[in-house]
A and B are shown apart, each in its own frame.
Chain A
Amino acid sequence: MAANSIIQVRNLSASFDGREVLSDVSFDVFDREITVILGSSGAGKSVLLKHILGLYEAREGSIHILGRDMSGLEEKDQKQMYLQMGVFYQNGGLLNSLTVGENIALPLEQHTNLNEQLIARIVLTKLQLVNLPNAYHLYPSQLSGGMLKRAALARAIVMDPPLLFCDEPGAGLDPISLASLDKLILNLREQMGVSIVIITHEVSSILRIADRLVFLDQGQMVFEGTLNEALKKNVEKVYQFFDMGRLFPIDDLE
């Protein structure tokens, strides 16, 4: 696939209080692909995502998104950047003081002059997409964990962004909800041509949706490539992760 690279991460390193969290990470995210960042807990996945989103400033290395350098962006440019991204946070990140409908409508109300009825219609479309048509007037605190995630996903895609970032969308979901979430994500890619970056460690989910993997281990990038390459290539850590062929009994784990 000769797709265009739309995110370039180059030699990114990060440390907190002298403890190195990411070291020399480089990879690409390609147009219309689903890139999965995976690795065990504490591998630096969330920190990597926060750097890509510009929530943390990259001290060493660089990040380009859609051809723009993310470091040192002015506020105006950063806003433009954020309008092209949908971000889905692990805990939902919905504002508790607003209803689900108001939460999802918020970006549209703030950034466009669209008619109120039209906004309500768009919100409903998104709610139907994530299979939550009745949550319009509910408050986030009234939703279950899985519903909260779907509502958050609806908010992330309300502006039809070309880029979608998901931080552990599957955590805490049952297999069926997870599968439908995966299907939804695949649909978004197919229908809308959204490029998606996902952090997850649900193996079943990775096998279903991933085009490309970035595997982190204790801040080091141990593998980057397509899913097929990952399944063939003999990278010990990746094998352990997928538990393939049960080559590595649990005793062999460090």
Chain B
Amino acid sequence: MELTGDTLFIKGALSLSGAESFIEEAMVLLENFEYGRLDIDLDGLGYIDSIGVASLEFLKEKMENKGLAVDISGGNADIRKNWEIFSSHSQVVPEEAGRLSFFEKIGDGFERAAEFVYSFLVLTANVIFWSVSDIFKSKRQRRGEFYNQAVLIGVNAIWIVGGLAFIIGLVMALQSSAQLRNFGANIYIVDLTVIAMMSEMGPLITAIVVAGRSGSSIAAEIATMKVTSELDALKTMALQPVRFVVVPKMHGSLVTMPFLTIIANIMGILGGMFIAFASLDIAPQVFVSRMSETLYNRDIFIGIVKSLVFAVIIVLTGSFYGLRVKEGAEGVGKVTTTAVVMSITLVMVADSIMGLIFY
């Protein structure tokens, strides 16, 4: 590059590798150019590619902004041709779409919230309707699907639910045993463990594990089906996606969740029994006979009702978020995460509401 009078002669090649130093050098050379005109001569230029063209135009614009009249000329046929192809006619980065005003944002938020609630209610109504009506039309159900879902949601979760419940029962009894021993109230370890497990911890642990395991897989499965047009295919075959995909999951989880909860209760109580024996010298026979005094049918019943409500919440939230997936594979991951977080939150909220009701 050479500056003679008002003319900048550019030599060699102008491509990605040289663009950076080209701009820097040119800016230094042209620092004192404030007004008048500048000719850029390309006769000495051997090669230019699209990045080279963009760099030249960038330089031209910079100079023009300073108030100079810039003219680019010369160059052999190849250079001119590339210039024609790559030089731009309107080089302005397009504006981003306009931002919403404050009130528009509020309105937008309300509208979206209303749509959200509405579509959740519609889905809930749909699922409940088809879940009930399909019980009487077993012929229409996909063969073996209920069994599959029951295994996936329920049976496969037995070990993790049982194991976790045992650990929770154990830890709970361990923590309280120290306190109870201070008051000589050792025997109340039985009341504490049994009632807490049966009416609160058992259903809750089960629901959290199932939400993590199956809630996420329900959301991911349905979202994938939507992204790959499987749901559209079902619709255009005149099949109800909800009925075909969600209902078997609902049936599967409604049937298995109570059993899972009972297993969690038993395992948790076993954990408590173990600590009672090991740490408070309460023999298992004593534990069992005390248990039959403290435990009422009502507590068992509350646990079962809770587990049914949780089952409905988990399947509904999973399906709801799965059906809401928008953009491609990336969306699947997003809705899966949201579905798990939401279903655990809703389970907790429902648990506290039922706790207040049944207190």
Question: What is A's interface to B at a CB cutoff of 8 Å?
Answer: 96-97, 101, 112-115, 117-118, 120-122, 124-126, 128-129, 133-134, 136-137, 139, 141, 157, 159-160, 187, 191-192
B34 CB–A CB distance under 8 Å: no
When chains A and B are docked, how far (Å) is the Cα of A102 from the Cα of B175?
Answer: 55
B40-59 contacts to A, CB under 8 A, are 49-51, 53-55, 57-58
In the complex, the answer to whether B96 meets A121 with C-beta atoms within 8 Å is no
Q: A141-B326, A159-B16 in contact; A125/B81 too (CB < 8 A)?
A: no
B349 CB–A CB distance under 8 Å: no
Q: A114-B20, A160-B16 in contact; A124/B96 too (CB < 8 A)?
A: no
User: Which of A97, A101, A114, A136 lies at the interface centre, i.e. has the most chain B CB atoms within 10 A of its CB?
Assistant: A114
Partner of B327, one of A96, A112, A124, A187: A96
A192 to chain B: which residues have CB within 8 Å?
Answer: 49-50, 82
Q: A96-B330, A121-B58 in contact; A113/B20 too (CB < 8 A)?
A: yes
Rounded to whole Å, the gap between the CB of A151 and the closest CB of chain B is: 14
When chains A and B are docked, how far (Å) is the Cα of A121 from the Cα of B56?
Answer: 11
Chain B window 1-35, contacts with chain A (Cβ cutoff 8 Å), 1 for yes, 0 for no: 00000000000000110011001000000000000
B91 CB–A CB distance under 8 Å: yes
In the complex, the answer to whether A187 meets B85 with C-beta atoms within 8 Å is yes
When chains A and B are docked, how far (Å) is the Cα of A136 from the Cα of B90?
Answer: 14
Partner of B328, one of A112, A121, A141, A157: A141
In the complex, the answer to whether A124 meets B82 with C-beta atoms within 8 Å is no
In the complex, the answer to whether A125 meets B328 with C-beta atoms within 8 Å is no
When chains A and B are docked, how far (Å) is the Cα of A126 from the Cα of B16?
Answer: 14
Count residues on chain B whose CB falls below 8 Å from chain A CBs.
29
Rounded to whole Å, the gap between the CB of A113 and the closest CB of chain B is: 6
Once A and B bind, how many residue pairs between them come within 8 Å at the CB atom? Answer: 72
Partner of B54, one of A118, A133, A157, A159: A118
B75-131 contacts to A, CB under 8 A, are 81-82, 85-86, 88, 90-91, 93-94, 96-97
Rounded to whole Å, the gap between the CB of A31 and the closest CB of chain B is: 15
When chains A and B are docked, how far (Å) is the Cα of A121 from the Cα of B51?
Answer: 9
Rounded to whole Å, the gap between the CB of B359 and the closest CB of chain A is: 47
Partner of A134, one of B15, B19, B55, B94: B94
User: Which of B19, B50, B55, B90 lies at the interface centre, i.e. has the most chain A CB atoms within 10 A of its CB?
Assistant: B50
B53 to chain A: which residues have CB within 8 Å?
Answer: 125
Question: What is B's interface to A at a CB cutoff of 8 Å?
Answer: 15-16, 19-20, 23, 49-51, 53-55, 57-58, 81-82, 85-86, 88, 90-91, 93-94, 96-97, 326-330
B88 to chain A: which residues have CB within 8 Å?
Answer: 121, 124-125, 128
In the complex, the answer to whether B93 meets A124 with C-beta atoms within 8 Å is yes
Ranked 7 nearest A-B pairs via Cβ? A141-B327, A96-B330, A122-B54, A160-B49, A121-B54, A118-B58, A137-B96
A114 to chain B: which residues have CB within 8 Å?
Answer: 19-20, 23
B20 to chain A: which residues have CB within 8 Å?
Answer: 112-114
B51 to chain A: which residues have CB within 8 Å?
Answer: 122, 159-160
When chains A and B are docked, how far (Å) is the Cα of A159 from the Cα of B327?
Answer: 29
User: Which of B15, B54, B329 lies at the interface centre, i.e. has the most chain A CB atoms within 10 A of its CB?
Assistant: B54
B330 nearest in chain A by CB position: A96
Given contacts A114-B20, A133-B90, A160-B16, 6 further A-B contacts (CB under 8 A): A115-B58, A122-B51, A126-B50, A134-B94, A160-B15, A191-B85
- 11 contacts across the A-B interface (CB closer than 8 A): A96-B330, A121-B54, A125-B88, A129-B85, A136-B94, A141-B327, A141-B328, A157-B50, A159-B16, A160-B51, A191-B81
Rounded to whole Å, the gap between the CB of B11 and the closest CB of chain A is: 19
In the complex, the answer to whether B326 meets A136 with C-beta atoms within 8 Å is no
Rounded to whole Å, the gap between the CB of B75 and the closest CB of chain A is: 14
When chains A and B are docked, how far (Å) is the Cα of A97 from the Cα of B333?
Answer: 13
B54 to chain A: which residues have CB within 8 Å?
Answer: 118, 121-122, 125
B19 nearest in chain A by CB position: A114
